[in-house]
Chain A
Amino acid sequence: MDLLLPPLFPDLLLDLLSMALLIGGVFLGISGAVGVIRFPDFYTRVHAAGVTDTLSAGMILAGLMLQAGFTLVTVKLAFILLFLWLTSPVASHALARAATHTGAKPVTATSGEPSSSN
């Protein structure tokens, strides 16, 4: 890493960039949690959890990759991200499908249900 870039560049700039990514990822994770509490029913909460699954995890892992540099650790972090993005939609889909099959009715905008109850 240090051999490829001018000496001043990597430490400061990479640290700042990875810090920004980590902070952004943590903010998105908290947003997902707030959404899970705030949204009215199961199906809408799945969407909030999706924020945590996709961009929050991606930004945190990208920030950690910048800290690890060109090492095997970065490769493993990339594998974690790859498998997370492959499996989390499968889990969300299985949950939503199971909810439909057991008869959970989604709150819809036109049905007049108060969206803050539940």
Chain B
Amino acid sequence: MLYFLSLFAVLFGFWLLLSGLWDHGLLLGLGLISSAFVAWIGTRLERPGGDGFEPGMLLRLPRYLGWLLVAIVQANIDVVRRIWDPVAHPISPVTGRLPASQRTRLGKTLYANSITLTPGTVAIEVSDADVLVHALSREAFDDLAGGEMERRVLALECGAGHPAGHRDGEAQG
């Protein structure tokens, strides 16, 4: 029920912001109905909780996103250097496996998406214990292997004081 209500609220807020129609009764009603219908479908599609989401993650998310934004800007500058000045900044493509210690499917997804979102590294394959990464340069690969991003996603997933929380969603695919 909580899942239905929060999904409904987010969907209807999204509908309002996209349409901008605050004072038209019929359209508002239709928006309410369609939001409720889609939220109902959402509750039937997949059981919430199995993927490792918990509300506290929303509080920790801004901090991680701020760090990720800085990392993205730095990675962009690095790749653009290698594009325009290949003599001074040559590429050295590397493929390798890196450990992914996140406990839930959601955590692993966040980690792999963050790897791919930063230019210079792409997650090719995610398995239970590790992630196969292709990097544009040895430096980018070593930087990722240093583990700061992995540690930060883990902190986002579990918080600082929950070492053993959330085992129910452990990688199923």
Query: Which residues in A have some Cβ–Cβ distance to B below 8 Å?
Result: 28, 31-32, 34-35, 38-39, 41, 43-44, 46-48, 50-51, 53-55, 72, 75-76, 79, 85-86, 88-90, 92-93, 96-97, 100, 106-109, 115
Contacts and interface: CB of A to CB of B under 8 A. Distances in A.
B136 to A, nearest CB: 4
Nearest to A43: B134
A89 B73 contact: no
B91 to A, nearest CB: 6
Interface string B103-137: 00000000011101111111111000000101010
Contacts of A79: 14, 17-18
Contact of A76 (B17, B112, B138): B17
B58 interface: no
Among A51, A90, A107, residue most surrounded by chain B Cβ atoms (within 10 Å): A51
B119 A51 contact: yes
Contacts of A50: 79, 116-120, 122
10 contacts: A43-B134, A48-B119, A50-B120, A51-B83, A51-B119, A53-B119, A54-B118, A89-B114, A89-B117, A93-B113
A48 B134 CA distance: 13
Contact of B119 (A34, A47, A72, A93): A47
B95 interface: yes
A100 to B, nearest CB: 5
Contacts of B132: 100
Contact of B122 (A54, A85, A96): A96
Interface string B17-49: 110100000000000000000000000000000
Interface of B: 14, 17-18, 20, 72-73, 76, 79-80, 82-84, 86, 91-95, 112-114, 116-125, 132, 134, 136, 138
Contacts of B91: 39, 44, 109, 115
A72 B76 contact: no
Contact of B20 (A46, A72, A109): A72
Given A72-B20, A93-B112, A93-B122, A31 B84 contact: yes
A113 B117 CA distance: 27
Nearest to A92: B116
Contacts of A115: 91
Contacts of B119: 47-48, 50-51, 53-55
